[in-house]
Structure 1
Amino acid sequence: MAIESKLTTKGQTTIPQEVREFLKVGAGDRLGYEFVDGKVVLVPKNRSALDFAGVLHEPDRKPVSVETMNEALDEAVSERVELSRDRN
């Protein structure tokens, strides 16, 4: 499914709702642009492991460092980029 938006003379565009929902971003969130194989990939940049503190709490689970969580998040983003490439 191709989703489009229009670029204004000021270089601005509205990110379509479907894209915002997929990226889980909203007003005030930061976005990054990465060049990958001749395409531009839009990546949410305002999330860190600290944003998710306590979300997955299970009393019997061993604590995990922020660094380990960030590595897992980086891997998940990389997988999402790969899936995005495969769709195109």
Structure 2
Amino acid sequence: MIRLLYFASLRDRLGSSGENIDLPEDTGDIATLKAYLARRGGVWKDIFAEDELVLAAVNQEMAQSDTSIKDGDEIGFFPPVTGG
């Protein structure tokens, strides 16, 4: 099982701050997890579409699309942020 956390506008659009899910067997990195979430359809498809920029962190460390994930991980998703 993995813990997914949704931050900022993602939390608002999804109507949830997070969830626990069983890691699908064929999901071994951030890119395949995003594709899995996009297959839920609706707003999930919009947010996690391949051409959308959604940042990820695995166990509170910034992650790339090819960052490996495994059972027990905490994965946070958030929109790009800017400061100023």
Higher relative CO (Cα under 8 Å, sequence separation at least 6) belongs to 2
The structure richer in strand per residue is 2
The verdict on a shared fold, with TM-score over 0.5 as the criterion, is: no
TMscore range, shorter length: under 0.3
- TM-score, scaled relative to structure 2: 0.25
TM-score, with structure 1 as normaliser? 0.25
More helix by share: 1
